[in-house]
Structure 1
C-alpha cells in the first residue's frame, strides 16, 4: 500500500502551497490594517463591565469515572477522566494513577468533534461516511453500548471516542462538560493576534473562494494546523474513499471500522505535513515583518491615498451591479434573518443575566443566614468561576439551539448554523465572566467599609443592581455587533458568488493602479470585497438600528450612554485577580505552592446520584466479555511504539510513515508518546497554546468541591516541567496515547 503515500503527500503539498501563497498576501494586508488601527484608532462604545484575564490555573473543570470502549481489545474499561483548565480530555487508568501523576492513557483535543448521545445518531453518520457499506439487517453494528447512556465523540476525519455512563443525570453533566470542551477547543485561533489571525482566516476564505466554495465552513475549528488539515482532508477524503473503499475486506461493520482507522491515519499524516509547511510560511513572513512595518509607517499616507484611488475605480465598476443584487436578493430577507438571530441570542443573554442574578441573590441569603464574612469567602470562590461552569451555563447555551434559518439557510448557502451558535455562546460566557469579575472587584473594594451582616447584605444587593445595569448595556452592545457580523457573514459570500460571473474576471485590469512598492499592502481582491461589503452594510446597520429603536429584545439605541458610568472603575481592573480564600482565610502562613497545586479545586462538583447505580469499579467487571481474560498490562512498554491496529490499517500506517515522514515519524503519526516520559507539550495544540485567557469557573453550588487531589498547573499538554519522574510501562496493549486530536 505504499502507493497511497505519494497521493497524500502531493495533495497536501499542493493545497498548502496555494494556501501559503494566499497567506503571504494576506499577511501584508493584515499588518497594514493593524498598524493603521494602532495609529488612527477606532471609536465605539466603551464597555461598562471590567474584563478579567485570569486563567484557571489552580482548577480543573471536572473529573470523574467514565467507561471507555477500547477498539483494539473490543472491551469497555473504566477510566478516570480529567478535564483540566485547558479543556483537553485526559483519560487515566484510574484515579490512583492520576493522583500519582502517572502518564495518561489518552489525551484528546476535541476541536471539530460532535457530541452524540445515541448510538443511532452515530450509526447514521458512520453509514453515510462510506456510501454503499451498510450492515445488513440482523448483523451486529459497528458499536454496541452496554448502557442506555452513551457519549460518543465523532469527527469526520479523525478517530472516534466511545464513552458511556450509568445514569441519565451523569450523561447530562458529561455532555455539558464535553460540549464546553468542544466549544473552547474549536475557538483555537487566538483573537489576541491582530496580524496572524486575520491573515490566516482571510487566506482560508480566499483559498476556498478560489475553489468556488462560498459561505460558512463548519470545519474552521481548532488551531491553525487543525484547520489546514481539515482543508486538505475536505479535498482528499473523496479521492481516498473512491480509491480505498472498494479494497476494504470483511463484513460491513469491519469495513467501516477499517475505514475510520485509515482516515485517522491519513489525517495525522496530513497534520504533520501541514504543520511543517505552515510553520515555515509563518517564519518567512515574520522574517519580512520588520521591513514591511517600516515601509507602512513611513508611507502610511501614500498607501491610504493609493488604496482609496483603487477603491474609487472598483466602486464605479462594481457598485451599480452590487446594489441591484442587494435590492433584489438580499434586502427583502435582512429583517427575517435578523429576527431569526435575535430571538434565541437575546434569550440566551437574558438567561445569563438570570443565572448571575440568582447565584448572587442565593449567595447573599446564605451569607446572612450562615455566618457573614467567612461564608462570603467560600461562596465568592464558587461565584468567581461561574462563567466556566458548563452545567450552570448550559441553560444559557441551550437557548441558541433554537436558532433556525429555515429556507434562508438554503437561499444563502449557509451549510449549518453551528458557526453562529458557537460564536454567540462564547459571547455569553465572556459576558458572564465580565459581570462576575466586576461584581468581585466592586465588592472587594467595599469590604473594608462594612460593619456587620446587614451592611454586607445591603452592599451586595446594591452592587448587584449596579452590575446588572452595566451588564444590560454591554449585552446590548455585544449583541448588536454579533448581529451585524452574522448578517455580513451570511450575505457577503452570497453576494460574491452572485457577482462573480460578471465582476471577478474584470478585476485583473485594476492591478495596474497599484504602485509596486505598495503591492504588499493593497490587494485588488480585498478591495473588491470591501466595496461589496459597503453595498449591503447600510441596509444591515439600518435593520439593527430599527430593532434597537423599537426596543426589540432589550437592545439599546446607539445614542444611549449610561449616566451612572464609573470613569475610574476600569482602573480597579488593572490589578491581580482576587484570591478570596488566601486573602480572607485568616491562615497565618501562605500555603506552599506545591500543596496548593495538589489540592486544586474542581469547577463542577462530582455528581451525587441517589439512583442506586453500582460503583464503577464493580460495573467494570460486568462490562468485560463473559469468560474473556482481562487484557494484559505489559510490564514495560517500548518507547515510541504505536498500538498495533488490524493488519490492513497497520500496513497503511507503516507505509505512510516510512515513505513520507522518515524514520521515527510513525510515532508522530499515531500520536504515541514515550511510556517513560510525560507527553511533550506542543505549541500548536490549542488545548493550551491557543486557549484564550479566562477567569476561573465555579465549583458546583449544590455540593462542595470534590476532595480529589488535582494535578494543578502542569496538566498534560502544558508547558512546564513536572517534578516526579514518570515510570515507564503504562501503555495498555493496543491502546496508543492520543496527544493531538
Structure 2
C-alpha cells in the first residue's frame, strides 16, 4: 500500500508542478497589470480625497490583546496510528487551533503537536453530513447508503473539520453541551479565517482581488467563489486545485485498490499531500511576484504624481468612447434581465440580515441591563470592574453570539445560483456575520469609553445612573451605525450578484471591440489605463443607480429598521472620538489586579479566556475535557492573583485532576487507573534546572503496559531503560 501510494504521489507531483507553474505565470501577468491600476486609484484618492460616512460608534485597533478564545480537552483521531487520543486544544487571538499532548504541555510552553488554520474548512457535527460531503467529492467511489464510515467515534458527539482538498480533522467529546460550545468556536475560527484580505493594504489587496477575478473570468468563471479563503498563498492554492483536483481524481482514483473505505482514505492522503505541495509553491511564487511589484512601485508612484492630471483626462476620454459603444446594450440588459429581479434579491438579503442585527441589539441590551442590575446590588468599584471586564469581550464570545449568526444562516438565494452564477450564499452569510461581530464590538467599546469617561469623581451611588445614560446613548448610536452598515452590505452584495451576470452576458459581444480603444491611450499611460477595467466600470455605473434606488426605497419603508439617507444623526458626543482606541483594563484599574504584571511564557499562559470552560457535575473526565482555565464567567483563573514567588513554591498538582496533591495516592484498583496514574508523568519536567524523573520500577511498569504482546516484553524493557 505504501509503495502504491508513493507511486501515485510521484505521478501527482509531476502534474501538480507543471499546473502550478502555469497558473502562477498567467496569474502573475494579471497581477502586474492590476498592481499599476490599483496604485493609480490609490494615489488619485489620496490627492483628490474622499469622505466616508461618519460613524457614531468608536473602533478599537486590537480588541483581543492579551486574550484567548477557548481551550480545553477532547479526543482526536490520529491518522498515523488510527487511534483516538486525548488532546488539549488552544484557540488564541489569531483563531488558529493549536494541539497539545496535554494542558501541562501547553502551560510549560512546549511546542504544539500541530496547528490548524481553518481557512476553507467547514465545521461539522455529524458523520452523516461528513459522509455526504465525502461521497460527493469522490463520485467514482460513491458509497452505498448503508455502508459504514472508515472511522468510528468512541462517543456520539463528533466534531469534524472538512476541507475540499486539505487534510480532515476528527474530534469527539463526551456531551452535547461540549459539542455545541466547541462547534461554535470552530465556526468562529472558520469565519475569521475566511474574512478576506487586509483592507489596510490599499494597493496590494485590490490588485490581488482584481487579478484573481479577471483570471477566473478568462476561464469562464464569473460570480462569487467559495474558496477565496485565507491569505494570498491559500487562495492561489485553491485556484490551482480548482482544476488540478478533478484532473488528478480522474487519473488516480480508478487505480486505487482495496475496499471502499481504504480507497477513500488513500485518496484523502494523496489530496492533502498535493495540496501542501501546491501551497508551498504558491507561497514562494506569490512572495517573489509581490516583491517585484514593490521594487517597481517608487518609479510608478513618481510617474503618477507627475502626470496625474493628464492620466485622468486620458482615462475620461477613453471612458466616454467605451460608454458610447456599450451603453445601449447595457441599458437593454438592465431593463429586461436585471431590474425585475433587484427587489426580490434585496428582500432575500434583507430579511435574515436585519434579524441578525436585531438579535445583536437584543443581546447587547440584555448584557447592559445585567451590568446595571449587578451594579445596583453591589456598588463597589471592584464589582463594576469585574462586570465591565466580562462584557468587554462580548463580541468575540462565539457561544453568546451564536444566535445572531444563526439568523443569517437562513439566507436563501435559491434560483440565483443558476441564473446569476452565485456558487452559494456562504460568501454573503460569513460577511454579514463578521459585520455583526464588528458592530457588537464597536457598541461595547463605545459603552466602555462612555462609562469610563463618566466615572471620574463619582461614587458608587451614581454608578447605576451613569450606566443607564451610557446604555441609552450607545443603543441610539448602534441603531444608526447598523443601518448604515447594512445598507452598504446590501449594495455590495447586489453588485457582487448582478455585475458578474451582466459581464457574462455582455462580454461575447463587447470584448472584440475593446482592443481598438487602446490606440487612444498614450504609451506612457498604458500601464495605468486598461480598457478592460474601464469596460467593467461602465457596466458597474450603469446599474449602480438602480441598486441605490432600491436600497433607498427599502429604507423609506422602514420595514427593517433602516434610516433614510437624508437623516443625519447629530454627533452628541463631540469629544468621544478623541478618546483612546485601546481596550480598558477594568480588572487592573478597578479590581486591583494588573493583567500585564507577568512576562514571557507566564503572561502567555495567563491570557484572559473569553469562553468559559464546561463543568460536568459528577462525571470524572480523566482526559481534561473542558475543565481547564476558567474564563470570564466569574470563575477565577488558575493561580490567579499569586505572585511569581507563590508560583515557584506552589504545591505539586495532579496532572489528571488538576488539584493539589495533599498525600500519596492509594493503590490503583484497575488497569485504566494505572495508565492514568503513570502516563502523564512520562515526560521529564524541568524546574529551577533540576530534573525530576519517575522511579525506575514505575518506568518499567509503564513499559510493560505499553507493550502490544507478551512476547515483546523481555526484549523491549532492556532497550528502553536508560
Give the TM-score band, short-chain normalised.
Answer: 0.7 to 0.9
Q: 1:450 aligns with which of 458, 464, 472?
A: 458
- Residue number in structure 1 paired with 2:518: 511
TM-score by length of 1: 0.83
The 5 A counterparts of 1:142-153 are: 142-153=150-161
- Give the secondary structure class of the aligned counterpart of 2:514: helix
TM-aligned CA deviation for residue 520 of structure 1: 1.4
- Give the secondary structure class of the aligned counterpart of 1:107: strand
- Give the secondary structure class of the aligned counterpart of 1:45: coil
Query: Do 1:176 and 1:390's aligned partners in 2 also have CA atoms closer than 8 Å?
Result: yes
**In 2: Cα distance, 1:405 partner to 1:139 partner:** 33
CA RMSD of aligned residues (A): 2.3
TM-aligned CA deviation for residue 254 of structure 1: 0.4
- Give the secondary structure class of the aligned counterpart of 2:399: helix
**In 1: Cα distance, 2:591 partner to 2:396 partner:** 24
CA 1:276–1:586: 2 relative to 1, 3 Å: closer
- Residue number in structure 2 paired with 1:246: 254
Q: 1:318 aligns with which of 310, 326, 329?
A: 326
1:204 equivalent to 2:212? Answer yes
- Residue number in structure 1 paired with 2:599: 593
TM-aligned CA deviation for residue 707 of structure 1: 2.9
CA 1:159–1:40: 2 relative to 1, 3 Å: same
Output one character per residue of 1:294-325: Cα deviation in whole Å (capped at 9) or x when no partner.
11111111111111111111101111101111
**In 2: Cα distance, 1:588 partner to 1:382 partner:** 16
**In 1: Cα distance, 2:244 partner to 2:200 partner:** 32
How many aligned positions are there? Answer: 635
CA 1:81–1:369: 2 relative to 1, 3 Å: same
- Give the secondary structure class of the aligned counterpart of 1:534: helix
CA 1:188–1:474: 2 relative to 1, 3 Å: same
Which consecutive unaligned segments of at least 5 residues does structure 2 have? 1-6, 642-686, 692-705, 707-722
The 5 A counterparts of 1:165-176 are: 165-176=173-184
- Residue number in structure 1 paired with 2:425: 417
**In 1: Cα distance, 2:216 partner to 2:624 partner:** 52
TM-aligned CA deviation for residue 3 of structure 1: 3.7
- Give the secondary structure class of the aligned counterpart of 1:68: strand
Query: Do 1:602 and 1:705's aligned partners in 2 also have CA atoms closer than 8 Å?
Result: no
**In 2: Cα distance, 1:724 partner to 1:245 partner:** 56
- Residue number in structure 2 paired with 1:470: 477
Q: 1:79 aligns with which of 81, 87, 103?
A: 87
CA 1:279–1:450: 2 relative to 1, 3 Å: same
**In 1: Cα distance, 2:595 partner to 2:130 partner:** 54
- Residue number in structure 1 paired with 2:117: 109
Q: 2:397 aligns with which of 374, 389, 397?
A: 389
The 5 A counterparts of 1:398-417 are: 398-417=406-425
Greater Rg over alpha carbons, structure? 2
- Residue number in structure 2 paired with 1:713: none
**In 2: Cα distance, 1:153 partner to 1:324 partner:** 46
**In 1: Cα distance, 2:435 partner to 2:269 partner:** 36
CA 1:345–1:588: 2 relative to 1, 3 Å: closer
1:10 equivalent to 2:18? Answer yes
**In 2: Cα distance, 1:391 partner to 1:144 partner:** 28
Output one character per residue of 1:321-361: Cα deviation in whole Å (capped at 9) or x when no partner.
01111111110010001011111111111111111111111
The 5 A counterparts of 1:56-455 are: 56-135=64-143, 140-453=148-461, 455=462
- Give the secondary structure class of the aligned counterpart of 2:456: helix
Query: Do 1:189 and 1:197's aligned partners in 2 also have CA atoms closer than 8 Å?
Result: yes
**In 2: Cα distance, 1:315 partner to 1:724 partner:** 76
- Give the secondary structure class of the aligned counterpart of 1:91: strand
Q: Tell which deviates more after alignment, 51-60 or 459-468.
A: 51-60
TM-aligned CA deviation for residue 567 of structure 1: 2.4
Query: Do 1:8 and 1:236's aligned partners in 2 also have CA atoms closer than 8 Å?
Result: yes
Q: 1:487 aligns with which of 494, 507, 521?
A: 494
CA 1:205–1:458: 2 relative to 1, 3 Å: same
**In 1: Cα distance, 2:639 partner to 2:245 partner:** 44
- Residue number in structure 1 paired with 2:587: 581
Which consecutive unaligned segments of at least 5 residues does structure 1 have? 621-697, 711-722, 733-741
1:707 equivalent to 2:638? Answer yes
CA 1:593–1:76: 2 relative to 1, 3 Å: same
TM-aligned CA deviation for residue 504 of structure 1: 1.4
TM-aligned CA deviation for residue 536 of structure 1: 0.8
CA 1:174–1:3: 2 relative to 1, 3 Å: closer
**In 1: Cα distance, 2:65 partner to 2:449 partner:** 19
Report 1 or 2 for greater relative contact order, CA contacts < 8 Å, sequence distance ≥ 6: 1
**In 2: Cα distance, 1:140 partner to 1:424 partner:** 38
CA 1:701–1:347: 2 relative to 1, 3 Å: farther
Query: Do 2:76 and 2:84's aligned partners in 1 also have CA atoms closer than 8 Å?
Result: yes
- Give the secondary structure class of the aligned counterpart of 2:455: helix
The 5 A counterparts of 1:513-592 are: 513-573=520-580, 576-586=582-592, 591-592=597-598
Output one character per residue of 1:430-479: Cα deviation in whole Å (capped at 9) or x when no partner.
111111111111111111132232x1101100011001111111111100
TM-aligned CA deviation for residue 55 of structure 1: 4.3
Query: Do 2:72 and 2:624's aligned partners in 1 also have CA atoms closer than 8 Å?
Result: no
Q: 1:21 aligns with which of 16, 25, 29?
A: 29
**In 1: Cα distance, 2:393 partner to 2:275 partner:** 36
CA 1:724–1:57: 2 relative to 1, 3 Å: farther
